[in-house]
Amino acid sequence: LGADTAISQHHGTLGKDTIALFESCRRGDLSKIRHLVEEREIELNIRDRWDGTPLYYACLCGHKEVVEYLLDNGARCVANTFDGERCLYASLNVGIRNLLRDHKVVTSNTMRRDGYDQFLRRCLDDRQHCDITFRVGGEEVRAHRCILAARSEFFRDAFRTKWRGHNVVPVTHHLVDASVFRIMLEYLYTGRLEMQARQSDSLIELAERCRLTSLVGQLHDLLVSSSSRRKAWNEFKTLLLEPSQYAQEVQRDLSRLAEQTLPAGDCKVSADERSTGDAGYADVCFNVHGCYFFCHKVLFCNRSEYFRALIEDPFTEALSTGTSRDVPVISLNHVTPEVFKCVVQHVYGNTTTALEPENVWEVACVADVYLLPELRRQCGQLIGESLDEAGACSALKVARLLRLHRLEEQCIDFMARHLAQVVQRPEFREIVAQDASEVKLRQETDSISVIDDIRYHIAANARSCAEVALANQKLALIDALLSDMGLDA
């Protein structure tokens, strides 16, 4: 217990995997870092008691490959901030310093993007499911009606009136070229944009014509702040617009679109809006036990490879839905309408308002089948918030089965804090026996996974003399359990 307690006090309240990340960055163990980041989902921008980050230690110790990997996966190094300058000046050599400067991670554009950000970018780049083409300055720019209508009142009105029935729309304004139009689309799809300073006037003109008042105001503020920091204006300078609330705005608009896809009884929008609004651009329908969800291929295909394979299956037939819409109908028989509603909300708006303790287990399993890891993790978070002595062991089994590493860590921590009650439960003995059986050709030095993890958490929480005494009592309970089961670990 003494050695484990010393390690815990040295690193503050950091978890076992987080401590391993810091140590691996100091050593330059890239394979271990990959495992911790990609499999264990460890946060890269966490700090230790000295305000150091994993990136800082990798720079300080001169591990260039580790620095590059951390930057690629979202480690923050923002220019003119404490962290950014600290990493630059702590770099062991010029190569790492140049890497920080050249990698573009010294701007907020380098911050780690979650799955929803990447999903929005894939929708922007999607060309297979486009249903509208804009002809701008001799170039064709393709897009998706459902997203443009959901994000902009101007496009929503235009698609219903003057552009109704048109698949190609000419854009003839002399100040607008294809590159500027694409920048505006980037903003509508992702909530952020990147442009050269010389394009600002054209973009503001286009945004005003499209009644994007919020974008116009943000662009003016960006130009003022950029010019105030520079003595000489450089028209080729790259400007990044990334409002702090960009994700919430996109999520809000696409969540509204998700509401229009739901069966009539669940839909919170009017029948008129449902029939003529953004859901009118639906190009795929999911039949879930007689409940029809009119959805959009661009969103489902770019959110999940499972749905991409399902939707793009050449044998999918355009069956009748009993309505005036002729779209492909795909029957989903292994999920309930209530659970699929959670899936739709997640796909469109990354929200889970329909997720409840009563359905979270079923949603977690469906998310695993549908290859929706973020929804699976959101389920794990809800399960972790409602752990109790009766359900902790079941939650641990689910966490392992669905590879929910954070939930697994929460379950272990809960068991360590309530060990006296947990060790009396038969299901806990089952987990211990299962972990013991998985160790092939057991030796005296082998450890049982769940026991080893619980012991670590017990030691990590032992600071004062009273806590150390309590920890020793818990360790004695573990020893007694193992002795009773005929195990030694």
* Phi, psi for residue 278 in degrees, rounded to 5: -60, -30
pLDDT at res. 7? 40
Do the domains 117-241 and 249-376 sit in the same CATH topology, yes or no?
A: yes
pLDDT at res. 327? 84
pLDDT at res. 84? 74
Task: Tell me which fold the domain 117-241 belongs to.
Answer: Potassium Channel Kv1.1; Chain A (3.30.710)
* CA gap 141, 155 in Å, rounded: 15
Helices (H), 152-304: 153-160, 178-190, 200-209, 213-228, 246-261, 271-276, 297-303
Question: What architecture (CATH level 2) is domain 2-112?
Answer: Alpha Horseshoe (1.25)
Question: In terms of pLDDT, which residue wins out, 243 or 214?
Answer: 214
Quick check: 425 and 396 in contact, CB under 8 A? no
Residue spans of the domains in the chain: they are 2-112, 117-241, 249-376, 387-484
pLDDT at res. 346? 95
- Quick: pLDDT tens for 100-125: 876 654 444 444 456 788 899 999 99
- Quick: pLDDT tens for 181-206: 999 999 999 998 888 888 888 889 99
| Average pLDDT value for residue range 168-180 | 85
Residue 126 has pLDDT above 50, yes or no: yes
Quick check: 371 and 304 in contact, CB under 8 A? yes
Q: Model-level pTM?
A: 0.76
Quick check: 304 and 372 in contact, CB under 8 A? yes
What SS3 state is found at 418?
coil
Reported as type and span, the H/E element at residue 225 is helix 213-228
What SS3 state is found at 13?
coil
Percent of the chain whose pLDDT exceeds 70: 82
446-485 residues labelled b (16+ CB within 10 A) or e (exposed): eebbbbebbbbbbbbbbeeeeebeebeebbeebeebbeee
Quick check: 16 and 454 in contact, CB under 8 A? no
CATH number assigned to the domain with residue range 249-376, chosen from the 4 options 3.40.50.150, 3.30.710.10, 3.40.1710.10, 3.20.20.100: 3.30.710.10
**Among 128, 170, 165, 133, residue whose Cα is nearest residue 148:** 133
pLDDT at res. 486? 85
| Average pLDDT value for residue range 380-396 | 91
Reported as type and span, the H/E element at residue 201 is helix 200-209
pLDDT at res. 10? 45
**Among 362, 422, 364, residue whose Cα is nearest residue 388:** 422
